[in-house]
């Protein structure tokens, strides 16, 4: 699966990644050493995650990040 990140908001991207893992918010939170409430906040756009956190999530869940210039 792939997505064009430019077409999504950060809250949508984190939710899509979690759904790809087929984990609940609570189980996903455990994999990244965060609380379920933190994952909820990421997914609802109430809290922002850092790029470092994004990289950690991707690495832990075998998500490849490709940055390409048009």
Residue 20 corresponds to which tokens in the numbers above?
């790809």
CA angle at residue 1 from 60 to 7, to 5 degrees? Answer: 95
**pLDDT, tens digit, 9 for 90 and up, residues 25-55:** 999 999 999 999 999 999 999 999 999 999 9
> Of 24, 18, 12, 2, nearest to 57 (Cα)?
18
* Dist. CA 66–CA 58, nearest whole Å: 11
Query: What per-residue confidence (pLDDT) applies to 2?
Result: 86
> What's the pTM value of the predicted model, to 2 decimals?
0.88
Q: What percent of the chain has pLDDT over 90?
A: 89
**Highest CATH level, class, for 5-60:** mainly alpha
**Greatest distance between any 2 Cα atoms in the chain:** 37
């Amino acid at each position: 699966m792939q997505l064009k990140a430019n077409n999504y908001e950060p809250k949508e991207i984190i939710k899509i990644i979690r759904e790809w893992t087929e984990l609940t918010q609570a189980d996903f939170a455990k994999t990244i050493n965060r609380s379920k409430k933190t994952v909820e906040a990421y997914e609802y756009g109430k809290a922002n995650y850092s790029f470092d956190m994004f990289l950690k999530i991707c690495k832990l869940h075998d998500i490849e990040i490709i940055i390409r210039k048009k």
